[in-house]
Chain A
Amino acid sequence: MGLALALASGPAANARPVSYEGGWTLIEATDRQSTSLLVHHTVDPKFSIGVRSEWDRKQDFVLNGVQATYLAKRWFGENYQANLYVYGGVGAATGVGANQAGTNAAGFVGVMADWETRRLFASYRARALAAGDVDSSFMQAARVGFAPYEGDTGDLHAWLMVEVDHRPDNADAVGVTPLVRFFKGPALLELGWSVIDNEPLANFTYRF
């Protein structure tokens, strides 16, 4: 099968794709489009590098590659944090199932931005992927959320969110996914359901 590189769903929003210096993070993301796994190591407070594996269930391809993420800007406030990330990667994408395009080299670039307080959250992300005959695509997604209560360190934090994504190549170009986020210590779990095409969302992040 081929290797190709693609980025199907992009890094999960607010999964904090850059961690503390020396930190490792595992990010699993499943949405209406794809299922992916990213394991990254933060080399510097502004830069992480990781390996990515992704299965795009809609476009029928698998991507394996490496991803680098750069924290272009972080805004600090007493009660908020905002981030702007840019990222890119290369790898190999291989058609599976109905996609008989074989294997192609692939590359992707993207941007993520988020703003967060203890009670409010907003984010945006976008990515462009080129994988030759296997797939080429663009996606963007925005999310807003709020926390019904403020949990302190180590408490179970809960968020109610809704994500709207736009994938021009899909039959259902716009998706709407309400979700709940649970956050405790180093673990983050998100569960949701795409109401447009009845697909689940299940994201999990663990920071080592």
Chain B
Amino acid sequence: MTRCIAIAALAVLTTATPGAAAPHEGHAEIAVERAHASEGDAMQGDHEGHADHGKGGHGHEHDHAETSSSADDAPRDVALIVRTDAIVAAIAGGGEPVVVDVLGVVCDFCAKAMNKTFGKRKEIAAVYVDLDLKTLNLVIEPGAELDDAMIEELVRKAGYKTSAIRRGAAALGEG
């Protein structure tokens, strides 16, 4: 009896939990994608409350959910660059996209601090802080360099702390 219950429970778990068992290739990926899709849905749901969101009201669209779900090889559990008008233009101009995960970002003062700190750097073509994703989104001018150590230092000067930095294709979800 106990064994039957255990087998039944295992069967339920392996069918109800995405990726809990991966009897054939692709399940693990599906599981991750599902997990991220749920996260993306949550983000989109959260964004629904913003009347101007993604309509130019504050000049950007959060395409992280859409982009990450369409980028086959991208890590599914990380935020991609937020495509504000300025960021899109700067990337189109040949700039290097950078996404920085920042700890402690809870309010617009945090965004202000990092916008001001990075906005006055000549290496920066575009900057945007996303409170929902807790990311600092940068585009570095073509030909300019701003290494990770300097980004970490500038975030520190703004009063915060980095936890991860993604560049180029990884920031776009293409790498």
Contact = CB atoms under 8 A, between A and B. Distances in A.
Contacts of B112: 20, 185-186, 207
Report the contact-size class of chain B (Cβ under 8 Å from the partner).
20 to 34
A151 interface: yes
Interface in A10-50: 16, 18-23, 45
B122 interface: no
Interface string B128-165: 11111010000000000000000000001111110100
Interface string A141-171: 0000000011111110100000000000000
Nearest to B84: A153
Interface string A75-94: 11111110000000000000
Contacts of B111: 153-154
B128 A153 contact: yes
A76 B103 contact: yes
The secondary structure that dominates the B interface is mixed
A80 B104 CA distance: 5
A73 interface: no
B73 interface: no
Report the contact-size class of chain A (Cβ under 8 Å from the partner).
20 to 34
A193 to B, nearest CB: 24
A188 B109 CA distance: 9
Contacts of A133: none
Contacts, number: 93
A172 to B, nearest CB: 32
B50 A152 contact: yes
Contacts of A76: 103-104, 160-161
Q: Residue among B46, B50, B112 with the most chain A CB within 10 A? A: B112
B130 A150 contact: no
Contacts of A151: 50, 131
B49 interface: yes
Contacts of B106: 79-81, 116-118
Nearest to A118: B106
Contact of B158 (A20, A81, A157, A184): A20
A78 B134 contact: yes
Nearest to B62: A152
B170 to A, nearest CB: 19
Nearest to A149: B49
A74 B112 CA distance: 18
Contacts of A116: 106-107
B129 to A, nearest CB: 6
Contacts of A79: 106, 134
A76 B106 CA distance: 10
B132 A150 contact: yes
A183 interface: yes
Contacts of B128: 153
Given A21-B157, A81-B103, A118-B131, 16 more contacts: A18-B159, A20-B117, A45-B156, A77-B104, A78-B103, A79-B106, A81-B104, A117-B106, A118-B107, A150-B131, A151-B131, A153-B128, A153-B130, A157-B108, A183-B107, A185-B108
8 closest Cβ pairs, A-B complex: A20-B113, A76-B103, A81-B104, A76-B104, A154-B58, A21-B157, A20-B158, A76-B161
22 contacts: A16-B109, A19-B109, A20-B113, A20-B116, A45-B159, A71-B159, A74-B104, A76-B160, A77-B104, A79-B106, A117-B106, A118-B107, A150-B132, A151-B131, A152-B58, A153-B111, A155-B58, A157-B107, A183-B107, A185-B108, A207-B112, A207-B113
